[in-house]
Amino acid sequence: MTLINQKYTSIEQAIANIPSGASIMIGGFGSPGTPFALLDELLAQGQSGLTLIKNDANEPDIGIGRLIRAGRVDRLITSHIGLNRVAIDEMNQGRLAVEMYPQGLLAEKIRCAGAGHYGFLTDIGLGTEIAGARREIECEGKTWAIEPAIHAEFALVHADLADEYGNLVYRGTAINFNPLMAMAADHTIAQAFQVQPPGNLPPETIHTPCAFVSQVVQVELASSEQGRRAHAV
Amino acid sequence: MTLINQKYTSIEQAIANIPSGASIMIGGFGSPGTPFALLDELLAQGQSGLTLIKNDANEPDIGIGRLIRAGRVDRLITSHIGLNRVAIDEMNQGRLAVEMYPQGLLAEKIRCAGAGHYGFLTDIGLGTEIAGARREIECEGKTWAIEPAIHAEFALVHADLADEYGNLVYRGTAINFNPLMAMAADHTIAQAFQVQPPGNLPPETIHTPCAFVSQVVQVELASSEQGRRAHAV
Amino acid sequence: MPSDQERILARAAREIDPGQIVNLGIGLPTRLFHYLPKEMEVLVHSENGVLGCQLLTEGSEPDLEMIDSGGAYISTRPGASVFDSALSFAMIRRSRVDVTFMGAFEVDQQGNLANWKIPGKFSPGIGGAMELAQKVKKLVVLCSHNDKHGNPKILKQCRLPLTAPRCVSRIITEKAVMEVTETGLQVVDIAEGLDVDALRDATEADLIIDEHRLGRF
Amino acid sequence: MPSDQERILARAAREIDPGQIVNLGIGLPTRLFHYLPKEMEVLVHSENGVLGCQLLTEGSEPDLEMIDSGGAYISTRPGASVFDSALSFAMIRRSRVDVTFMGAFEVDQQGNLANWKIPGKFSPGIGGAMELAQKVKKLVVLCSHNDKHGNPKILKQCRLPLTAPRCVSRIITEKAVMEVTETGLQVVDIAEGLDVDALRDATEADLIIDEHRLGRF
């Protein structure tokens, strides 16, 4: 694990650690919490053959939408891609492999990896078509589906505030999948609007302790303006 | 579930909902986070035949130590009772049934109930004597133990701040099991040093959203002084 | 005279009691926001991770980090909290949401619901609907009584892939309010000016109708 | 001349590098706090839910809500965080703690550790030891070389119930520093003034000793 005093770095260096073919979790539900600046740097650096894990596919011209449109994503593990027609087309054309889970199960599968378990036992989806694909077991006279954890090599997350050790504070509905993914990946890269010296963030307000963050970079507010255009107010 | 506008109540009324024979989760690791005032009221009201779920047994003269000494507890699900000689004696005499789990598994079993799952699959404890008691399954060529969730009818938790809807903010190492238990019990009673009008607590600072709290009561700082005497500084 | 959607929404708002926790699905249900009195103590849950949403005041600058699960900018009311997606769905699976409103492609007299997939035509993913449908105690379906070709949406048996089996409590359309009971679909209210035979003609499901106890809306 | 415990602690402190996350077990390991320079950027994890503990400044009033897992009042250093017990153990199970120090009743040459239960005599529960032992990458045992009756604690094979199998990286006693390797227990350092035969006599485990590379401490 990165030493706590070696985490604060440049966006170029942080993203350069990611090889082509990597599996990468991406925070965000819609635009809030999506690490736009990290994704734009990933687009610029050219890594390809990626497996992405994200709640949604953003929209065609922002966030992972740009990576998908550029043909850099082989596989997407997600919950709902209804706002991205390009992703739907790529899926229908067979150029993008898409694996879909109910949103809460996706969140729990990621959380489960972050907690260091193999999987969990659920009744969600019994009696629906998702049930057929899963292994089931009987416990105490009832049927439960085994949902294996989802890991990744990398996670890209967006925080509002950070400190140089990599402690993270999220804001508003930009929390969503970010703290779960930060724990579930082997190597977590965080962007934040402000990266402060250690000691500036009250201990109770920290959502993701620095132990789960490998690198932290400071980004301009402007990078998230991309997300703004996409939403009707 | 209690309506949000009917949660702020008196300690007498809140505890009067608990019948004898109930299963009750109790927050706290040592003294911090232990809901001393709620426990003292439970002692005063006289409920017996209780099953308690708590990380530790406090010490003989405080918290659940007083309930155990008074013979009001039939069963204790815990992680470590080394600081309570009375509990150890009661266990050795066969008057208190004690079920022990490694601390992190206990936390996860409670968290798992709070997340609405049946259980989770872990490798913790394989190759030790706790392995024998558990059902195991093979997944992807490895052995995993099934750890079922632990539910309870009630949870008693301690917060630093609350609002009248039951939103809770914890402080310091008094967080520990409290947010997990608040989610895992059917009926959660919270004590807080301050109960404020809704809107006073910033949304990002809330550790336990009010949806998981049935009743909230305000208590004096003094009740936790009990815990203080027990610790060497 | 109210439009069909206004009639549905006005009736649906009466399903919410002060003090409850409510989830509003994407589309028509989201518009229920406009039918809740601002002073009413209700916390609206949105599954992306917020409890206590309210509409953005007209003309105010949106906070870019605050959206609901439909992607609209929102604000929060006093008593609101924000949290991660695991906690948000724990709240759903632990049945801490009192009532949820959803649209439907099809709904049937057993309370089965289909609202996420039309095989070969539409399958963007199920999002949060499955867990909401399966675990929220009271699920109220808000939909048009018939599809745009006039075909019934209230069926004897759903044909599309289910969101969840036997999950619906109530169905509100522009024509009727129907309760899913042990014995079938009981009509609670019928639209002003509609007669019972016309309702039956527009419906594939078997309807239980006690004309003496029938309300109007 | 340092006491046996001081010798162990001073040597143990050299196992910690700046920038690491460290867990200090109850008892002797907790006293390592006194051997860490205050300006050293190290975050001490305590499994009750805090990362970044430090000793309370002498004479200062304790915060009643801040203890470590041993029950002592603590304060925190810059960069500290507090969290619930599930997150605290996720940190452990995900191997985000770089090094942990623990006491032992018995430890053996395969790296097995027994430090929580003496059947029929002592069984207060395992607390957090099992997960720390199983999942922290570097586990350093700090213990006396022999028990109070003079019996060896460094064994060929543990006899007591294990905390975790094959979990120990290093053992530091007042007599030696031993590394658990694929081929057995390699002596890294031997105490000043002790000879190799005396060390072997005090030890049940087979020791691998390369006298040319042996350090003193």
Chain C residues closer than 8 Å to A78 by CB: 125
Chains B and D touch (3+ CB pairs under 8 A): yes
Using the predicted structure, report yes or no on whether residue A230 has a pLDDT greater than 50.
no
Q: Is C182 a catalytic residue?
A: no
Antiparallel, parallel or unpaired: β C154-155 and C138-142: unpaired
> Which tokens hold the place of D118?
């003496």
Q: How far is B118 from chain A (nearest CA, A)?
A: 5
Count A/B contacts: CB-CB distance under 8 Å.
68
> Which tokens hold the place of D100?
């942990």
Chain A residues closer than 8 Å to C64 by CB: 31-32, 224, 227-228
A198 touches chain D (CB under 8 A): yes
Q: Is the ipTM above a cut-off of 0.95?
A: yes
Cβ atoms < 10 Å from Cβ of A16: 14
User: Residues of A numbered 199-218 whose beta carbons fall under 8 angstroms of chain D's beta carbons: which are they?
Assistant: 199, 201, 203-204, 206, 209-212
Confidence of residue B223 (pLDDT cuts 50, 70, 90): low
pLDDT at B232: 44
Chains B and A touch (3+ CB pairs under 8 A): yes
- The rounded distance, in Å, linking the Cα atoms of A93 and A70 is 15
Domains of chain B: 11-126+133-230 (3.40.1080.10)
pLDDT in tens, B206-222: 999 999 999 999 998 64
- The DSSP bridge partners found for residue B154 are B24, B187
Residue contact B172–D126, C-beta within 8 A:
no
pLDDT at B221: 67
Chain A residues closer than 8 Å to C84 by CB: 107, 175-180, 207
Cβ–Cβ under 8 Å, residues B71 and B48: yes
User: How large a percentage of chain C has pLDDT more than 70?
Assistant: 100
Using the predicted structure, report yes or no on whether residue B116 has a pLDDT greater than 50.
yes
pLDDT at B228: 52
pLDDT in tens, B145-204: 999 999 999 999 999 999 999 999 999 999 999 999 999 999 999 999 999 999 999 999
- Residue of chain B nearest D135, judged by CA positions: B124
pLDDT in tens, B127-140: 999 998 899 999 99
pLDDT in tens, C85-115: 999 999 999 999 999 999 999 999 999 999 9
Read off the pTM: 0.97
pLDDT at B220: 85
Residue contact A139–B122, C-beta within 8 A:
no
3-state secondary structure of A11: helix
Rounded to 10 deg, the angle between the C85-93 and A103-114 helix axes is 120
Using the predicted structure, report yes or no on whether residue A136 has a pLDDT greater than 50.
yes
List all chains that touch chain D, counting a touch as 3 or more CB pairs closer than 8 Å: A, B
Structural domain of residue C111, as residue ranges?
A: 4-216
- The rounded distance, in Å, linking the Cα atoms of C56 and C61 is 9
Chain C residues closer than 8 Å to A149 by CB: none
Q: What is the residue-averaged pLDDT of chain C?
A: 96
Q: What is the residue-averaged pLDDT of chain A?
A: 94
Chain center to CA of A63 = 11
Residue contact A118–B142, C-beta within 8 A:
yes
* pLDDT mean over D144-159: 97
CATH code at position C107: 3.40.1080.10
B175 touches chain D (CB under 8 A): yes
Phi, psi of A68 (to 5 degrees): -65, -45
Chain B residues closer than 8 Å to D83 by CB: 175
Q: Domains in chain C: how many in total?
A: 1
Confidence of residue B29 (pLDDT cuts 50, 70, 90): very high
* pLDDT mean over A96-108: 97
Q: What is the residue-averaged pLDDT of chain B?
A: 94
Q: Which of B2, B5, B7, B170 has the most C C-beta neighbours within 10 Å, making it the best mutation to test the interface with C?
A: B5
Using the predicted structure, report yes or no on whether residue B1 has a pLDDT greater than 80.
no
Residue contact A144–B118, C-beta within 8 A:
yes
- Residue of chain D nearest A213, judged by CA positions: D96
pLDDT at A221: 67
- The rounded distance, in Å, linking the Cα atoms of B90 and B69 is 8
Residue contact B172–D66, C-beta within 8 A:
yes
* pLDDT mean over A63-81: 97
pLDDT at D57: 86
pLDDT in tens, A151-176: 999 999 999 999 999 999 999 999 99
C-alpha distance from residue B14 to each of A18, B29, B191 (Å): 54, 23, 10
